[in-house]
Amino acid sequence: MATANETPVEARLDETFAALANSTRRAILARLAEGAASVNELAAPFELTLPAISKHIKVLEHAGLITRARRAQFRPCAIDASSLALVAGWAEQYRHIWDDRFDRMDDYVLALQNSKHRRRDDQ
């Protein structure tokens, strides 16, 4: 929920983090990272109804994470990384906190990518 009296940047972070706090929406983003897609294409992998996907897309769009075009009766979506860059930049603020204890963040990128056997030797 957008807390009262926020700066524009804080409000944007609210929206962006909220949009990312849902695995369906993150999966849609991951799909769009491969290239633009129509709503039906985006909906295909999910068991949700089309209106549900449509709403997720609206949330992503409003958070600035995707952009939309009109081509015939299609409304193709494309990823817009500027809000993702905002998130990455926000998290980078705290890098020194985990850099003190952990080697490289690349380990976490790898842990994310093959999350099936996550090995975290520290902690």
Partner DNA sequence: AGCGTACTTTCCCTATTGGTTAATTAGTGG
Partner DNA sequence: CCACTAATTAACCAATAGGGAAAGTACGCT
- List the interface residues with DNA, window 79-108 (CB under 7 A): none
Spell out the alpha helix ranges (H) of the chain. Answer: 8-20, 23-33, 39-43, 50-62, 82-92, 95-99, 106-113
Query: Which residues lie near a second copy (CB under 8 A)?
Result: 1, 3, 6-11, 13-18, 20-24, 26, 29, 33, 79, 81-82, 84-95, 97-98, 100-102, 105, 108-109, 111-115, 118, 121, 123
DSSP class of 45? T
Cβ closest to DNA, residue 38 vs residue 86: 38
Q: Is 44 in the site for DNA (CB under 7 A)?
A: no
How far is the C-alpha of 15 from the C-alpha of 18, rounded, in Å?
5
Residues in contact with DNA, counted by CB under 7 A, come to a total of 29
Give me the residue label for tokens 């409003």: 62
C-alpha distances out from residue 78 to 10, 33, 84, 114, Å? 24, 8, 13, 25
Cβ closest to DNA, residue 6 vs residue 103: 6
Q: What does the binding site for DNA look like in residue numbers (CB under 7 A)? A: 1, 3, 18, 21-22, 24, 38-41, 47-52, 54-59, 68, 70, 72-76
